[in-house]
């Protein structure tokens, strides 16, 4: 589970705790008993945590939009040619290494494809290819050599081609 999912889960369960405590106070009052002063204050603890986790969730979509806009600016600045090519999306780890999450390619216009794919991965590397077939072969090589965790399916080849993967025989016998 990602951090965002954890925060959402925590918020959800805190809301149950908060509601239970408030209900408990009302039920106690309904039974004609006066709770201790600290009991009145007890909903403030889950409420404070709800506020923190809630504000975090509130900011998330804006932060994602901002990151995406920054990535698109970076793509526009770096990728200037309309050409086939390959790309890798990822992040820098604590040791300063670029870790690949995803690889992809474009058979015609790398910039357009990268813009569509960038998503929440803010860092990218790219390379132009001399043809769409060269891009396909480079993507296959990256897929096999790097094993990106979010590229689970073998790269496809364009319809109508009989190109083969340079690393495996996935297309063998398919014409």
Judged by the rule CB under 6 A, the positions of this chain that interact with ligand HEM are 8, 11-12, 15, 18-19, 47, 50-51, 54-55, 57-58
Buried b (16+ CB within 10 A) or exposed e, 59-68: eeeeeeeeeb
Least Cβ distance, residue 53 to ligand HEM (angstroms): 7
d(C-alpha 81, C-alpha 122), whole Å: 20
Task: Concatenate the DSSP letters of all residues of 92-129 into one string.
Answer: E-TTS-EEEEEEEEESS-HHHHHHHH-TT--EEEEEE-
Least Cβ distance, residue 33 to ligand HEM (angstroms): 24
Least Cβ distance, residue 1 to ligand HEM (angstroms): 12
Q: Which CB sits closer to ligand HEM, 8 or 144?
A: 8
Chain residue whose CB lies nearest ligand HEM: 54
Strand 85-92 versus strand 98-106 pairing type: antiparallel
Q: Which CB sits closer to ligand HEM, 11 or 68?
A: 11
Q: Which CB sits closer to ligand HEM, 25 or 134?
A: 25
Least Cβ distance, residue 5 to ligand HEM (angstroms): 9
Least Cβ distance, residue 164 to ligand HEM (angstroms): 46
| Dihedral of the alpha carbons of 98, 102, 107, 110, in degrees to the nearest 10 | -50
Buried b (16+ CB within 10 A) or exposed e, 79-97: beeebbbbbbbbeeeeeee
Strand partners, 89: 102, 124
């Amino acid at each position: 589970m990602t951090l965002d999912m954890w925060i959402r889960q925590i918020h959800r369960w805190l809301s149950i705790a908060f509601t239970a405590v408030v209900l408990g106070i009302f039920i106690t009052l309904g039974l004609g008993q006066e709770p201790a002063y600290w009991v009145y204050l007890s909903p403030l603890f889950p409420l404070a945590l709800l506020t923190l986790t809630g504000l975090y969730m509130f900011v998330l979509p804006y932060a994602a939009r901002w990151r995406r806009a920054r990535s698109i600016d970076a793509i526009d600045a770096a990728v200037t040619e309309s050409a086939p090519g390959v790309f890798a999306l990822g992040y820098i780890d604590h040791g300063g290494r670029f870790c690949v999450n995803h690889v992809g390619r474009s058979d015609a216009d790398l910039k357009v494809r990268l813009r569509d794919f960038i998503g929440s991965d803010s860092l990218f590397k790219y390379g132009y290819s001399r043809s769409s077939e060269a891009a396909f072969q480079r993507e296959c090589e990256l897929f096999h050599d790097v094993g990106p965790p979010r590229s689970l399916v073998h790269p496809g080849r364009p319809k109508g081609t009989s190109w083969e993967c340079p690393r495996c025989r996935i297309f063998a016998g398919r014409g």
